[in-house]
Structure 1
Amino acid sequence: MTEHQTKLTSSEIASIWTNYMNDSMSKCILGYFLKHVEDDEIKSIVQFAYDLSTAHIKKLTSIFQEERIPAPIGFTDGDVNMQAPRMYTDMFMLNYIHHMSKIGMLSFSTFTSMGAREDIRNYFTEGLNESSKLFNSCSNVLLSKGLFLRAPYVAYPTETDYVDSKKYLSGLNPFSNKRPLNMVEISHLFINIQTNLIGTKIAQSFAQGSSIEKVQKYMLRGRDIAQKHIQVFAKVLLENNIQAPASSDICITDSIDAPFSDKLTMFSISLLNSSGIGNYAMSAAASQRSDLILHYERLSGEVAQYAKDGFDILIEHAWLEQPPGTTDKDQIVKKKDTMD
């Protein structure tokens, strides 16, 4: 009896397509990092991340070929200028990989949950394990160098209790005192400050390297949005006598020579936008004070509009690769009518 391989579902095709796009971008960025990184510990992290992206692209290409599905164009050597001078410090590289490994863990867990075929689930499960290993390796190096950006410390709780008033959910009335933040809310404020901190540096570096005025303005606008969001979240923490996290070690140089194509940088920002909107949605769902929920909803809308404007630029320059889609049945009928 001949065994037939079950065809990929739409979710599985979407997952491998998205993974290919992300890893082809990462390989370009990490390859550039490898050329300039100096610290031996950080170089080993960059090399590990680069090897993962390379292995993923090879495996995904094999899957596309076996299934006779066109592989994405993605990003190639033409999207990275290896001759460009150093744009990023070693500490930026480490923090960038640390941040992207978090996105990787979330992505791979989602891809795994959408898989039906065992080989696809196994691939994404392995990707999740690799992302976790990369995250832990980055964390250990950051800790060893005393540069791990920790969440705020607060006093340990001394008892357990239940919410006894609907006032616990309030926070919009300016004439009443807001209850203190709980630890769940603090953790989400912290992580959103942290992600926006690195977002400001990424956007600034992309603006420095671009020669297209519209892209420059877009990147600087993204930097300013991220800085404004940091201020919003930091203000909430300070109102609760909690110092907002800050790091002076996530740095870029003054170089204005582009290491990456505008197509790659615009795609990279769109990925960060998607991640940011997801973070805000999760934070809103986890927060119980109404003023925090309103902040997340309002700021998420601002990021969504910014993302939409970015897609307009991608389309305008023919940089936006179209994900696999379904056949338009109406168009098939119309085409048949014209042939009759």
Structure 2
Amino acid sequence: MLNLREFEAAAASTVDRVHYDYLAGGAWDEVTLRDNEAAFGRLRLLPRVLRGRDKPELDVSLFGCHAASPVLMSPTAFHRLVHPEGERATARAAAATGTIMVASMAATVAIADIAAAAREAAGGVVGGVVGGGDPALWFQLYIQPDLEVTEALVARATAAGARALVVTVDSPVFGAHERDRRNGFLDLPAGMACENMRGLPGGEPDAVRPIAMSPEICWDHLDWLRQATSLPVVLKGILHPEDARLALRHGVDGLMLSNHGGRQLDTVPATIDLLPEIVAAVGGRMPVILDGGVRRGTDVVKALALGASAVGIGRPVLWGLAADGERGVRRVLELLREEVDAALALCGAGSPRDLTPDLVRRRS
């Protein structure tokens, strides 16, 4: 397979239709789902030439994690829906390619087992660095109304070696997915569960607690979390510039600009369209990672040129996993790296740090 679209087609033909609809679908009319990708098509690259650059250097560092590429794995749930090894295979592919993986709180493999798989695959090479210590693994967190449960989740992630917490803040309630309602997809198949929610305080030792979405979660909870952990805290789901400025005032370490892949509030703008405003709002005082709609290396370069520190991919990881397990995920990451490498060179850039907004034009 030569590009991510071919992996998408392979996944669609491999995965059970009900489960594929869950992974592929969005909220309500799926306007935002479609626009996340279409927005990149409204942008054009305007390259510079004759700049005498060496071969582009793609590595980036985020919160002490050295990554071989500015593309990281955004959190996605339920990897065992598409492959028996689930998140273990994904983690091995991430470690082998020096990619930062954000493990989902709703993973079908526990964070400790995800970390163990990544360490095994790294073979002494983590993030492209020999003897690099813990893998470049972050943990995605929904703050639970029961703070004792939240504290236990943070402790598990920390003990497993997670290097940062990615706190999803755009989900006071679940988004309405009409594909799932039509298909009657209400729960995971027998033998699968959100393993990070097993054996938490207040329940039976082996019970799996449901993930609670709560409209009560507010900035006060963020302040509590900041005191409860020494890990860097990245907020995922910030869209409004004023919320980005509030994040700065509350001591947040980074932002993941995300509309949840179009799965929460429909008709919000595409993330690439919001990126310049969010970058301006934080004024270089924290990294901004763009999540949503990235399907080509040129998409990555456009986002980096407009101020993103890195980009995240979600569904393409699952397409690779469905198509060929660990090898499929590795190939997805390698394809994007090859495309980013070529696009940087063709733009006259020696590294992501050489990209500037003047290289991007909006199609009239």
User: TM-score, normalized by length of structure 2?
Assistant: 0.27
Greater RCO, CA 8 A, separation 6+: 2
Structure exhibiting the larger radius of gyration computed from Cα positions: 1
| Greater fraction helix | 1
| Greater fraction strand | 2
